[in-house]
Each structure stands twice: as C-alpha cells, then as structure tokens.
Amino acid sequence: MKKVAIVVPPITDFYYTPHRGAFLGARYVKNFLEKNDFECRLFDFPNKKQKKTKLPEELGYLKPYIEKNDGLFFKEYKRFGYSFEKCKKEIEGFSPDRIILSLFAFAYSKEFLDFARFLKKEFPKIPLFAGGSGISCFPEYFEKTGLINTVFCGEIEAIGEDVLKALKGEIEGIVKPSRFTEENELDFIIAHTLSTKRKNYYSTLLSRGCPKNCAFCSNFIVQGKKFRTVPITKIERTIKQLTLKNANINFEDDNILLAKDYLLEVLKMIKKVEPDTTFSFENGIDYIFLEPGFIEQLVNLGVKQFNLSIGHIDKGILEKNKRPAHIEKLIETVKLLEKKNIPCIVYFIAGLKDDSFQKTIGTMKFLEKLPCLIGISPFYPVPGIAGFENKKIFEEKSPILTKGSSFYPWNNSLTTKELIEAFKIARKINLSKRKH
Ligand code: SF4
C-alpha cells in the first residue's frame, strides 16, 4: 500500500484563527485516497505552533504602524506551524511515498513555494503534488516552478481518477476538472479544530456552490455556481459515530441559508443525537435570508452567535459588486438578536472598487449605532475574481500583498493608511461596545 502525506505547510501572518483551521479540502482528499487503498496522514502544520517571525520585506510599508503602536494595530508577524526542519522530521516519521501539499488560500503561496522548495531538496526522490483553493485559482503559477509533479485543480470528487493516475506517475502537469460534483458524491466531513475548558470546536461544510454573483467572492472557482447539499443520511451516520460532548459546530464558508429547511433538519438531527451541541457560522451568513421566525428556530436549536456578512452599506458599491442589500432588514435582524441576547458581528469589506475613506467611515458610523460588533475585512483579490481575471498582476506582485492583513490598496479606493485607520476605528468602537 502506498503512503501519502497530505501536508498543509506553515503560514505566516499577523493572526490565525485555530478554531477555523479545519482544512476540509485536505481532509476530503485524505478520505478519497483512503477509500482507494492508500495509507494517508494529514499534517495540518498551521495548527501546531506559533512563533514570532520577521516581517516580510514586501510589508516594509507596515513598519511605521507596528512601531508606533497604540494597541489597536498588530504588534508582531508570526509563523503558524513548526520550523521547516521540524516539519521535515514529522513527515519523515511517516516515510511517505508521495507528498500532496495543500494550499487553502493563494495569499499564502510564497510560504507554500518556499516549503515545496525545501521538501524537494530534503526528499528529492519523493514526488510532490499540490492542490487546494489557493492552487485552483492560478495553477500555472505553481506548475511553472517545476517543483510540483502534478498540480490538481477543483474538487477531489471531480478529478479523482486523474489524481490516482498522477500518483502512479501516469499524468504530469495540470489536472483540471471537466465538471463540478453531484450532490450524491459529496462526503460529510467534520473536523475537530480546538478544545478549551468549556467547548470542543468542530468545523464542517454542508453545501457546495453558490448561484449568486458577488464580485468579490472566489467561491465559484472551486465549487461552481450550482448549489448542492450533503445528503442528510451521510451526516447522520457520521454524527452518530462521534462523541460530541460540549461541542460547537461551525459551518464554514457555507451559503447554507439557501436551503433553510435542510439546515433546520440537520440541526434538529444533531440536537437529537447530542442535545448540548451549539452552532455558529464563523465566516458569516447572509442576513437577507433571516426572517424573525427562522431566527427564533435557529436560536432554539443552539445557534449561539450570528456573524452577518453585508459586503458594505453603500448602495452604489453593493450594486457594482452585485450584492443585494436590504438595510431595514439588517437593522431589524440585529435588533431582534439583541432582544434575544444573542451576540452578533456584522462584517463588511473596506477597499472595494469605488469605496472611499468617507464611505467606509459612514458604514462604521452606521454600524456603531447598532447593537453589534463590527467585523472589518480589508479587500484582497484572488486570481480570477471580477476585476482580476487577468492574472498577470499576480506574477508581478508578491502574493503576500494579497493577504487581507497586508492592507494593500488593490483597488486604489482607500490607501494603506486609510485602510489601517478604518481598521483601528473599528477596533476602538468594538472595545468601547464590549466595555458597555
Ligand atoms: S459571497 Fe456568499 S452569497 Fe456572494 S457569491 Fe460568494 S458565497 Fe455566494
């Protein structure tokens, strides 16, 4: 039996959210290969350790903000994961015949390629493969390095046969899917991400694909536009095999409110098996789908916090970005959650095309008056999204600049200084709201 190491390399950033580090894509690959008689081990290095590291040269422009810190900006850059040497030792302990590297976001491709280069030197005889959302949006970028035998794009269920051939050395280059997965092919995977004294955190995905067209979204690149849900029988089977004590299940990157009845059915089934389970939607859900009666049902079933994503408040910006808006509904939803004593964070993006410092401040002033915390996400592009279809720019600029935390003015709508100022104002508002 061939042994395959599935490796998520260490990353560097100002922050990382361990309870969201499920690496579900890598786990789907592991599942698929195990069903095909491979022995696999997942190395999820970003979850393992964190250590202060040097600020990358490309981010030199952030130094003044880090040095003159008033407590509202990041203090240090960190490596999430072991040193390369220690990673090597861990992988060596498994003695793999093949290594598949997984990249969940293009923004981390510099670290990813440094790690691939290191492995190639340390394990010259072991073929290297690569896949994941970060690869799928620009596979040529990775192929041309000559480090990777075969570069995999899209969902494992759709390219499985070719992946098996590639692992045997029968295909090289780039493997692209000719279709997206069907509903009955979808596996249910739930990953334990973190345990605290009070809670055991899990992350999962109930659906794939989204028919909407928000210009800033990259979901369609891997998952396509057809919405599909995981069959409930598969979820029930897995949940019954687990011991979910004091669990919180996070539905990650899931536009699951497109199937409200399905979601209620899933939550009811889980509560029946493990009544003390709670739920969250860390990456945000669309408030437009939240009717008062539905919120009531979700709260009664154990949803403990609502992270709502709005894109922006400015109507013009939303229209340009093809994101529907219904401000009265947002106000009504946030107030209803307050009445129920349910925490709520409203997320918006600063630095979209046609945004300005004034419009961003306007959005924050509006949110300041509402009973919610403000989640501000500086805009960052993914190769292939609207406005960034021409991928040449990603060859000219360092991928490090595509991290949200790099505050890079990709759309020239807010400067770095303004993006950071807005970020600090949001934190200040949140701190004062938390005090009250
Ligand atoms: S942002 Fe959400 S609603 Fe918009 S296209 Fe992406 S997944 Fe769909």
Assign 3-class secondary structure to 8-41.
Answer: ECCEEECCCCHHHCCCHHHHHHHHHHHHCCCEEE
Same domain, 81 and 93: yes
SS3 417: helix
Same domain, 300 and 397: yes
How far apart CA 70 and CA 308 sit, in angstroms, is 28
Single-letter code of the amino acid located at 307: N
Cβ contacts of residue 125 below 8 Å, gap of 6+? none
Same domain, 293 and 435: yes
**What integer pLDDT is reported at residue 255 of this predicted model?**
86
The enclosing domain of 432 has a CATH number of 3.30.750.200
Task: Kindly report the protein residue whose alpha carbon is nearest to atom 4 of ligand 1.
Answer: 214
How far apart CA 384 and CA 100 sit, in angstroms, is 24
**What integer pLDDT is reported at residue 265 of this predicted model?**
98
Same domain, 406 and 309: yes
Residue ranges of the chain with per-residue pLDDT less than 50: none
Query: Which of 150, 175, 200 is the endpoint of a domain?
Result: 175
Same domain, 239 and 146: no
The residue among 20, 155, 29, 141 whose CA lies nearest residue 384 is: 141
Same domain, 129 and 273: no
SS3 384: coil
Verify whether ligand 1 is closer than 6 Å to residue 271 (CB atom): no
Task: Kindly report the protein residue whose alpha carbon is nearest to atom 2 of ligand 1.
Answer: 255
Verify whether ligand 1 is closer than 6 Å to residue 165 (CB atom): no
Same domain, 290 and 277: no
Same domain, 155 and 199: no
367 C-alpha to ligand 1 centroid (Å): 21
The residue among 418, 300, 400 whose CA lies nearest residue 359 is: 418
Same domain, 310 and 271: no
225 C-alpha to ligand 1 centroid (Å): 10
**What integer pLDDT is reported at residue 337 of this predicted model?**
96
Same domain, 329 and 434: yes
Both structure tokens of 11: 């990353």
Beta bridge partners of 377: 349
Q: Which domain covers residue 239, as residue numbers?
A: 181-283
Verify whether ligand 1 is closer than 6 Å to residue 255 (CB atom): yes
Same domain, 301 and 257: no
Verify whether ligand 1 is closer than 6 Å to residue 212 (CB atom): yes
pTM of the model: 0.95
Same domain, 132 and 157: yes
The enclosing domain of 72 has a CATH number of 3.40.50.2300
Residue 423 gets the label, from left (phi > 0), alpha (psi -120 to 50) or beta, of alpha
- Containing 174, the helix (H) or strand (E) segment is strand 173-175
Query: Which of 264, 283, 302 is the endpoint of a domain?
Result: 283
* Tens-place pLDDT, residues 155-206: 999 999 999 999 999 999 999 999 999 999 999 999 999 999 989 999 999 9
Query: Which of 157, 175, 193 is the endpoint of a domain?
Result: 175
Our count of domains for the chain comes to 3
DSSP 370: S
176-179: Cβ within 8 A, 24+ apart: 176/139, 177/153
Could you write out the DSSP letters of every residue in 133-165?
Answer: HHHHT-HHHHHTTS--SEEE-S-HHHHHHHHHH
DSSP 354: T
Task: Kindly report the protein residue whose alpha carbon is nearest to atom 3 of ligand 1.
Answer: 212
- Containing 385, the helix (H) or strand (E) segment is none
